[in-house]
Amino acid sequence: MTEKEQFLGQLERELPTTMRVLRAYPAAKADLKPHARCKSAKELAWMFVTEQKASEQALDGGIEFGKMPKAPATLPEVIATYEQSSKAFVERIKRTPEVELNKTVKFFVAPKQMGDMRKMDLLWFMLMDSVHHRGLPPHGRRQGALDLRAVGGRALDVAGR
């Protein structure tokens, strides 16, 4: 099994779990922040979209952080955008030749320092960062804003169901 196949397998397992966590989150609590320094659930969900966009830009040869799309107004719109962008992202990875994934792109390698990062490593980093911020069911807890139980959301099992 190639690294690309491993990545696609992991991506295709994580995306449905993230969708279930997002759909279980009460839309009325989308702007709740457990602490002033934390992101809201809507902001975290939009971060998943921008991480996919950054990954796509990396595949094109360079990430333009200032050219990320603006978030829609509501959590349901963010979720719909994430669902669409996820499907497109999976297809994009499938079409990308493995040799391209082993090329490098500029990305943060230390605070305020850019350096070369292999595209495949960047894809793994972005995927695992989204899992970290999404949290792991049943609590959907990691960053705090997606803590389903704390906001009256439906608790999910370990598999995110």
| Virtual torsion, Cα 15, 88, 129, 67, nearest 10 deg | -150
Tell me the pLDDT band of 143, cut-offs 50, 70 and 90: very low
pLDDT of residue 157: 54
Kind plus residue range of the DSSP H or E element containing 110? strand 104-110
Q: What percent of the chain has pLDDT over 90?
A: 57
Which residue, 71, 73, 72, 20, is CA-closest to 50? 71
Which residue, 156, 141, 111, is CA-closest to 20? 156
Q: Where are the alpha helices (DSSP H) in 61-118?
A: 75-95, 98-101
Q: 92 vs 22, 114, 157, CA distance in Å? A: 23, 25, 30
Q: Picking from 41-50, 80-89, 134-143, which range would have the lowest pLDDT averaged per residue?
A: 134-143
How high is the mean pLDDT of the chain?
86
Structure-model confidence comparison of residues 35 and 17, the more confident one? 17
Residues 75-81, mean pLDDT to the nearest whole number: 95
Structure-model confidence comparison of residues 66 and 142, the more confident one? 66
Residues 68-77, mean pLDDT to the nearest whole number: 92
Residues 20-43, mean pLDDT to the nearest whole number: 85
Q: What is the pTM of this model?
A: 0.84
Task: Tell me how far the alpha carbon of residue 143 is from its chain's centroid.
Answer: 13
Tokens of 47: 């971060």
pLDDT of residue 75: 94
Tell me the pLDDT band of 144, cut-offs 50, 70 and 90: very low
Q: What distance in Å separates the CA atoms of residue 27 and residue 1, rounded to the nearest whole number?
A: 40
pLDDT of residue 39: 83
Q: Where are the alpha helices (DSSP H) in the chain?
A: 3-24, 41-60, 75-95, 98-101, 119-134
